[in-house]
Structures are given as C-alpha cells and as structure tokens.
Structure 1
Amino acid sequence: MKEELKGTGVALATPMNSDYSVDYQALGNLVDYIIDGNADYLVIQGTTGESPVFSWNEKLDILRFVFKHVDGRKPIVFGLGGNNTLDLIEKSKDLAEFDLLAILSVSPYYNKPSQEGIFRHYTMLADAYPHPIILYNVPARTASNVDAITTVELGKHPNIIAMKEASGDLSQCKEILEKRTDDLMLLSGDDALAHDIIKMGGEGVISVIGNIMPTEFTDMVNSALAGEFEKSATLNSNLKVAYKMLSEEGNPSSLKAGLESIGIGLRTVKPPLFDASDRMVNKWKSYFNN
C-alpha cells in the first residue's frame, strides 16, 4: 500500500454542466486523460473536487461512477474529512463496500480545535474508518495547523499511513521527516513545493496540476523520486508559470478554465465559488499554444 501512494496522486476536479449537475461524460474523459498521463492514483472529492458543495449521496454517486470507469486501472483515494467527528464516522460505514486505497481526511475546519483535539479527532476516525487514512493539513483553508509533533504521534496509529502537507512550511515538513516512524509517508499538498519536499525525503504529492498536465508533472515527480535532481529541477522550472496560473482566480476555478481550454468540460463551479473569467481561459489557451 505504501508503494501505491508513492509518486503522483491527482486530486480530481468535478466537471459540471451549466445547471451545476455533474458532467459525467467530461468526468470520464478527465479520468482517462489523467490515467493516460501516467499518474499513479486518483483522489476523489478532495478540495479540488469541490467537496464542500456536494451532498453525501452525490459524493457516493461520483465515487461509484469513477470506480466503474477506472475499472481497476489505477488505485482510488476518497476524501472524507470535516469538523463533525461523529458524523464522519457514521458516513464512513458507506465506504466499506469500496476497495479504496485510502481515505483522505482534512483536519477539522472552523472549529479551530487544539492539538489535543486534532489528535483525538483523527484517532477516533482511524479507529473507525474501514480504510487507511491520509491526514491532510491545509491551514489556509482550515484556520488551524496540524503541527509536526501531532503528525508524528498520529503516524504511530496503525491505520494512519500518510500526511498530505499543504501548510507551505518546509521547516515543518523537515521536522516531520526527521521524527516520523517508517510507517508514515509525507506527501506534498502543494504542486509548487512538491520538488522541494521530495528532495527532502518525501514520497510524493497529491496534485492539482496533474488534472491538466499529468504527463509533465508526473515526469518531474518521478525524476525527483529517482534522485535525478538536475533533470527534475529543470522540469519543475518549466511548470512554474502553470503553478502560478492555477492560483490566479482560485482553485478549482482557474483549473477548470484550463480544462475548458483543452476541451475537457466547462469552467462551471458551484457557488459560492465563481466561474473563471474569459481572460483566464484565453490565458490557458495561449499557454498551451506556445
């Protein structure tokens, strides 16, 4: 299982029609595009998939579709995290039927729990979830940080196998790498920092850019994992403009503008997010045509 999480996971966007229903044709096309680009696994209903704006039944419908469409070609991770611990445990019972590689679980947002509260939350989930857990630390979205010591201690639980680190704090990543047990993987949650984190000893990334440039990004990650740092640094440098574009009008709005520019779905996002501008779509078209 640890080997399957190594490399490039892609946090799958959820293409939508103009009425906000899921565009399953485009979703299937996107899955094929990512798989053809040699990504190692797919992550369903993470932040990039707009998980906060889908009902639980809609999330399960998306998961069932992707499982059927992938048909065993790649492992699948599913996002189930939030700020209601007991509700998450109840929902997780519906996932027992799926052969998931792991569950990605974002740390509790809005509540701003203490480190002890975060530890208790994740321990309760790990005791109850039917699949291994990837912790997910993204303080810019949750308003609280999972610090290095909490991460290391949680990594001792047999059902917690990785941390997706999106704090942007490389010193925190370094501390995790220095103090973790061998059973805990460190995955970058930030495309632009993936190269640095892998070079420090991390095992991979859960990526946004992998939706739109899976081949190029996977090549960079694989080169870094192989210790070919001169090559990977060049490949990473070639992607820096795209990294910046992904954040210009927010994620996943900017990403969906890029996907529309290459013919995979519309730029539609659900409120309260707002669709990317024509300027953003045209900027992606210019980028890919140069």
Structure 2
Amino acid sequence: MSITDTPLYTALVTPMNENGDIHLDDLASLIHKQDEAGNGVLVLGSTGEGLALPLEDKKQVVKTASSLNVDVPIMVGVGGFNLRNQIEWIEYCHQFDVDSFLLVTPLYAKPGPKGQVQWFKSLLDTADKECMLYNVPSRTGSKMSPLVLKELADHSNFVAVKEASGSIEDYQNYRKTAKDIVFYSGDDGLLPFFSMAGCNGLVSVASNVWPKATHQYVDWCLDGRGPELLPLWQECTDALFSGPNPVPAKVLLNEKGWIENTKLHPPLTEDDVEDISILKNADNMIQRWYKENS
C-alpha cells in the first residue's frame, strides 16, 4: 500500500505540558482521533513545531506515534538546513514503524536549482520509505525548483509533493514537469481549486480540530463538489490562521478539551490569538455542516 492511497493527512500539532515537555497522553489521544476518522498522520511538520523541539522530544514523538498500532499511515517531518542532521534523523527513524517522510525545501540558505536537487537526492537516497517533498516558500524563503521534479521524478522513494505555495499556476507548472508524481494541497482553503486541477488530496491543519468533517470535505472535493464547499470552508479555515500556525489550532483544541493546555515553544505564544470567538464560531459552523451532511 502506498502513502498516496490516503487522501488526507493531518499535520498534527504537538501537545505539551506546562513545562514544555511532550504531553504523551494528549499526543496519543490526538492520533487515535485521526485514526478513527481514517486520516493519515504527519508528525513534526511545521504545524507540529518540529524545528522548535529539542531532539529528545522529537524522538519521543516518533516513538509514541509508532507504538500505537493505528491503521492509518504515519509520516515524519524532515526539515532544516544542516544536511548531516537531516540524514541522521532519517536514519534514526528507520528503527520505528513509520510509513514515510516529508522532506521540505532547505531553510534559510535559498539554494539554487542544482543545490536543491543534490539536497533532496541525498535525503531520498537515505530514506528506506516513500517520501513526499514539500514546497512552502513562505516558510523556507525559496520555492522548489521545477528541476527537482524533472531530475528526481524517477527516484523510487519520491512519490508525492505537498504544494503549499498558494499558487495554482505554480502547481500546474509542477504537474507538467512531473506527470507521474502525485500532488497534495498544503492549503485547506484552496483544496476546491486544487482538486479541480487534479490533486490527490490534502495535508491539513483543519483536520486537527475537525477530523471527521475534514475527511468528508476532502472526499467531496475530490468528487467534484468543491465549489459548493468553498465559502464555508474558506471562512472557517481562515479562522485557523487568524494567528501564526499552529497557535489558533492549539487554542481551539484546548477549548474543545482535546488537549490540556495551549503551551507552545518560543517564539510562538497563545497571546497572538486575541479573539477566541472567531475560532468558536468556525467550530460551530463546521460541526453544524457535518451534522447536516454526514
């Protein structure tokens, strides 16, 4: 079974105790909620504060996620700007029952096309599992070069791209470059557009707080019903980005009683969500929609 057989992956938040340690019980509970909804789980992506966590905490997350015997695939985030560290991280994860890796464009350095190809090839060669490449220039400072797709499309471990540039035009250009590679939208609100342009699914922030409803949203979008969903889901997913991600998601998860507190690693803080009523209203709207349509 390929990771591309799963149309929805939740970019999972990482719940913490007040002292900043990983809240392992909350982590397990969140993963089980995703398993019940049939959603794949991505741990230690940007929504999971993967770059802010100490290495030992990251190891705890992977150990816990891989020990739960869930039926859905587990994907592990790989990101940074030190190649050796990323290779060592992939090699560490090989000992656990995880299904794939998410490989993000190198951060901060703004490498050119050939540098990107060399970076991704090194990681793909190291991995013994399927990989999804991640284009998110708003976070990394550089856009994934089409040369990466052209040069690496035949690599046995390269099966998918998470496209989060926010540009339908870029997405279409990437698809022309690598016609056999599967694409996922990295933007909840843009899924209706991406699905009409042939994407395979979604890597979602919204499914943290609405696991079953987001699963249905993805199914309907992939079934051609995206346009009718756009107004509601655009408004409600925008609420989850009313502050820096994953701050609003953690605030709402805490409000729903799904995590014990809203603790984040600096420089993120829950103080950047000033009006929780926006989140509560979005939650009510999505819950109502799901109740009426499930």
TM-score by length of 1: 0.91
In the alignment, which of 64, 75, 78 is matched to residue 76 of structure 2? 78
Q: Check conservation: 1:155, 1:162, Cα contact below 8 A.
A: no
Task: Flag the 1:153–1:169 CA change in 2: closer, same or farther, 3 A.
Answer: farther
For residues 1-290 of structure 1, what are the structure 2 equivalents within 5 Å? 1-2=1-2, 4-39=4-39, 41-69=40-68, 71-182=69-180, 184-226=181-223, 229=224, 231-265=225-259, 266-276=261-271, 279-289=274-284
- Deviation (angstroms), 1:147: 2.7
CA distance in 1, matches of 2:230, 2:210: 12
What amino acid maps onto 1:111 in structure 2? A
Q: Structure 1 residues 94, 218: closer, same or farther in 2, change over 3 A?
A: same
* Contiguous gaps of at least 5 residues in structure 1: none
Verify the 8 A CA contact 1:249 1:276 in the aligned structure 2. Answer: no
* Per-residue Cα deviation, 1:213-257 (whole angstroms, up to 9, x for no partner): 12222112112223xx2x333234322222111111110001111
Q: Distance in 1 between matches of 2:185 and 2:11?
A: 12
Distance 1:157 1:210 in 2: 30
Give how far 1:113 is off.
0.6
185-194 or 135-144: bigger deviation? 185-194
Which residue number corresponds to residue 292 of structure 2?
none
Distance 2:32 2:242 in 1: 26
Q: Helix, strand or coil for the counterpart of 1:79?
A: strand
Contact 2:80-2:86 within 8 A present in 1 as well: yes
Distance 1:88-1:278 versus aligned 2 partners, 3 A rule: closer
Number of residue pairs aligned between Structure 1 and Structure 2: 284
Cα 1:252–1:203 shift into 2, 3 Å: same
Offset of residue 3 of structure 1 = 5.8
Deviation, 1:118, is: 0.4
For residue 5 of structure 1, report the CA deviation from its aligned partner. 4.4
In 1, Cα distance between equivalents of 2:4 and 2:183 = 13
Distance in 2, Cα, partners of 1:122 & 1:286:
41
How big is each residue's C-alpha offset from its partner over 1:65-100, in whole Å with a ceiling of 9 and x where there is no partner? 12223x132110001122111221122211121232
Q: CA deviation at 1:211?
A: 0.4
Give 3-state SS (helix, strand or coil) of 1:15's partner.
coil
| Structure 2: unaligned runs, 5 residues or longer | 286-294
**More displaced stretch, 152-161 vs 205-214:** 152-161
CA 1:75–1:6: 2 relative to 1, 3 Å: closer
Q: Percent identity?
A: 27
1: CA distance, partners of 2:25 / 2:277: 23
For the residues of structure 2 that align with 1:172 and 1:98, how far apart are their CA atoms? 35
